[in-house]
Structure 1
């Protein structure tokens, strides 16, 4: 997949991975990797951008005598997912145009 196109989808995939439950970096990589390839070195800058834009928040929990940083989606992050889903019809139309499918008229 083209890197620019992939980059656009990755943020939404990370937000979606957090939609049902808070999570930490390694688990997010495992969850997102089921649909699109992502590495930890790609994930952490995305999480930082999402945190800076207040789409996720963080907290730490002790795990095996170490602090593990958890990420939690915010209302702003949920809104971002909802806007993506609202735009899906337009994305699908672009896909069909590129593929050469003609819509029934």
Structure 2
């Protein structure tokens, strides 16, 4: 993954994780697997775990410790009402950005009159 992709992904990863949790509760490794299943294959588990700590501290999720067949209990993250509001705001912002960036992309790929001559 290129540096530009990595930087852009950093700014959207929280929204991606919140969107996955809106579908269903999950624990850290499961979230990482689901992100990779959506094509984001180069994301390190450590990145996701650090993000989960941040969204827990921001009170965007509820956390329940669930016994695991192997090892210590797992922390299962469930999107709460505050997290749903944050996700809604993320999608509004995303839509705004996509619309305006696409407009820029269209204007830069269309030849101007001076370029046509």
Tell me if both proteins adopt one fold, taking TM over 0.5 as the criterion.
yes
Question: Once the two structures are superposed, what CA deviation does each residue of 1:28-54 show, in whole Å capped at 9, x if it has no partner?
Answer: 001112143422110011111101110
Q: Could you say which structure has the higher helix fraction?
A: 2
**In the alignment, what sits opposite 2:74?**
68
Q: CA RMSD in A?
A: 1.9
Provide the rounded CA distance (Å) in 1 between the counterparts of 2:52 and 2:45. 10
Task: Could you tell me which runs of 5 or more consecutive residues in structure 2 were left unpaired when the two chains were aligned.
Answer: 109-117
**In the alignment, what sits opposite 1:58?**
63
The number of residue pairs the alignment matches comes to 102
Question: Once the two structures are superposed, what CA deviation does each residue of 1:29-84 show, in whole Å capped at 9, x if it has no partner?
Answer: 01112143422110011111101110112111112153111111111111111112
Task: Could you tell me which runs of 5 or more consecutive residues in structure 1 were left unpaired when the two chains were aligned.
Answer: none
User: For 1:81, which of 73, 80, 87 is the aligned residue?
Assistant: 87
* Structure 1 residue matching 2:50: 3-state secondary structure: helix
**In the alignment, what sits opposite 1:39?**
44
- Give the alignment's TM-score, normalised by structure 1: 0.83
- Give the alignment's TM-score, normalised by structure 2: 0.76
Whichever of the two has the greater Rg, that structure is: 2
Matched, 1:91 2:97: yes
Question: Once the two structures are superposed, what CA deviation does each residue of 1:3-37 show, in whole Å capped at 9, x if it has no partner?
Answer: 33211110001111111211011110011121434
Q: Could you say which structure has the higher strand fraction?
A: 1
- Aligned pairs for 1:22-33 (under 5 A) are 22-33=25-36
